[in-house]
Amino acid sequence: MNELLKNLTEAVGVSSNEKEVRLLIRDLIANYVDEWHVDALGNLLALKKGTGASPLRVLVDAHMDEVGLMITDIDSNGTLKFEGVGGFNDRTLLGKVVQVGPKKITGVIGARPVHLLEANQRNSVVKIDAMRIDIGAKNKDAASGKVKVGEFAAFVTEYEELGVTAVGKAFDDRAGCAALVELLRARPYPFDLYASFSVQEEVGLRGAEVAAYGINPDVALVLECTPAYDLPNENDVSSNVALGKGPSIYVMDRVTIQDPRLVGHITRTAVANGIPFQIRQPGGGGTNTAVIQRTRGGIPAATIAVPGRHAHTPTMIINLEDYANVIKLAEATLRSLTPDVIKRN
């Protein structure tokens, strides 16, 4: 059992409420870094000093936050109204168990049972504002004693390993956080390595923007968990990425064209080290690379991601070999990173 993945994914950290995850990571890395601090937005920033062989300052980022819910009102019948924090498809929410507020009160996102549905209701999607969380409170007063408006709710999914795959919540992006913890635990790099465990990615890449501004590195690498969509087999189309085919390397998404020099360096490193990789299908999505790349005078940046099925639902599945290979590829990429890689004509 990978205890690091278990502990990180089971911790709760909906965007802007990442403290539990931050404290956990802080304790995991404290003995392996030279300095750490928490910035104004809550990013956990750490410095692992290099051997002095290279003048570069390199940032590796992974976001701590996960998608979740915020309680917006308590109905007279004691059920909780809520909104999504981060991107959701409403269909994925009904019938799911959640943990509400700092006391982690168990609740269920209620659904009218199938027996009681009209024929037309069976074919329509219930909208998020019509849903309620049921915490078993008999009325508003009883519920108010347990939960306050403005508190967060997170999914409840225990980490489990099924052979080479792992099931759990929040692999996006605790898998990236776990990989970054492993990179910090390795021997020193030729250069000073800055780590940002960033906040508020799921609500618009907000934490990494200030983290990168504060650190102002020469190069940045973002570790992510990217949606795999490899189950339906439509007529001759590519999966976005597929589980088990190795680390996915971004080239272009909706908000970023990755630095071609770094993409080249990463793919060459993979080939040289016999690490499998896949090019993530160019198109939609976006990562912290977007804001890091465009911080200050610009920072060459690229993204390596663990493929994960069922992203932004309560349960994701990753392949543990992909995860191990992301760590291997990221470490090899860093150890062979020289100023020449980002030299311009």
Partner 1 sequence: MNELIKKLVEAYGPSGFEDGMRDLIRPEIEAYADEISVDALGNLIAVKKGSGGGLKVMIAAHMDEIGVMVTHITQDGFLRFTNIGGVLPHNLMGSRVQFANGVIGVISSDRLEDRSKIHPLTKFFIDVGASSPDDCPVGVGDAAGFIRPFLAQGKRLTAKAMDDRIGCVVAIETLKRLKTTPHDVYFAFTVQEEVGVRGAMTAANHLDPDVGIALDVTLTGDVPEARPMAISLGQGAAIKVKDSGMIAHAGLVRLMKQRAEAAQISYQLEVLDGGSTDARSMQIANGGTAAGCISIPCRYVHSQSETVDADDVESCIKLLVEILANPINL
Does position 287 interact with partner 1 (CB under 8 A)? The reply is no
Sequence-ordered list of residues with C-beta below 8 angstroms from that of 34, at least 6 positions apart, any chain: 47, 48, 49
Q: How would you classify the pairing of strands 105-109 and 160-162?
A: unpaired
DSSP 8-state secondary structure symbol assigned to residue 169: S
DSSP states of 219-264 = EEEEEEEEEE--SS--TT---SS-TTS--EE-SB-SS-B--HHHHH
Among 287, 289, 293, 333, binds partner 1 (CB under 8 A): 293
CB of 236 to partner 1, least distance (A): 5
Choosing from 201, 202, 209, 331, the catalytic residue is 201
| Nearest residue (CB) to partner 1, 187 versus 344 | 344
CB of 282 to partner 1, least distance (A): 5
- Phi and psi dihedrals of 54, rounded to 5? -130, 140
**In angstroms, rounded to a whole number, what is the distance separating the alpha carbons of residues 37 and 188?**
19
Cβ–Cβ under 8 Å, residues 227 and 89: no
121 is a site residue for partner 1 (CB under 8 A): no
Q: Tell me whether residue 1 is exposed, middle or buried, using C-beta atoms within 10 angstroms of its C-beta: 0 to 12, 13 to 18, 19 or more.
A: exposed
Site size with partner 1, rule: CB under 8 A: 24
Task: Give whichever of 139 and 238 is closer to partner 1, judged by the CB atom.
Answer: 238
**Binding segment toward partner 1, per CB under 8 A, in 38-46, 50-58, 178-186, 281-289:** 281-289
Question: What's the min distance (Å) between Cβ of 205 and partner 1?
Answer: 14
Candidates 103, 127, 138, 296: give the one binding partner 1 (CB under 8 A): 296
Beta-carbon contacts of 119 under 8 Å, excluding residues fewer than 6 positions away, are: none
Which is closer to partner 1, CB of 194 or CB of 197?
Answer: 194
Helical spans, DSSP H, in the chain: 3-10, 19-29, 140-144, 171-185, 206-215, 260-272, 289-293, 320-335
Among 19, 26, 185, 294, binds partner 1 (CB under 8 A): 294
Contact by Cβ (8 Å): 201, 62: no
Q: Give yes or no for a contact between 191 and 53, defined as CB atoms under 8 angstroms apart.
A: yes
Compute φ and ψ for 313, nearest 5 degrees.
-125, 175
- Which positions from 221 through 280 interact with partner 1, judged by CB under 8 A? 236-238, 251-252, 255, 257, 260, 263, 279
If binding is defined by CB under 8 A, does position 297 make contact with partner 1? yes
- CB of 257 vs partner 1, minimal distance in Å: 3
User: Given candidates 115, 127, 138, 344, which one binds partner 1 under the rule CB under 8 A?
Assistant: 344
Between residues 155 and 277, which has the closer beta carbon with respect to partner 1? 277
Among 52, 55, 204, 298, binds partner 1 (CB under 8 A): 298
Amino acid at 299: I
Q: Is the peptide bond before 173 cis (omega within 30 degrees of 0)?
A: yes
Shortest distance, position 188 Cβ to partner 1, whole Å:
25
State the CB neighbour count (10 A cutoff) for residue 295. Answer: 21
* Catalytic annotation present for 83: no
Does 94 bind partner 1 (CB under 8 A)? Our answer is no
Contact partners, residue 35, CB within 8 Å, separation at least 6: 46, 47
DSSP 122: G
Q: Using the minimum distance from each CB to partner 1, give the nearer residue, 123 or 235.
A: 235
| CB closer to partner 1, 258 vs 319 | 258
Rounded least distance, CB 91 to partner 1, Å: 23
* The one among 270, 299, 305, 318 contacting partner 1 by CB under 8 A: 299
Shortest spacing between CB 240 and partner 1, in angstroms: 9
Residues recognised as catalytic? 201
- Under the rule (CB under 8 A), what is the footprint of partner 1? 236-238, 251-252, 255, 257, 260, 263, 279, 281-283, 293-300, 342, 344-345
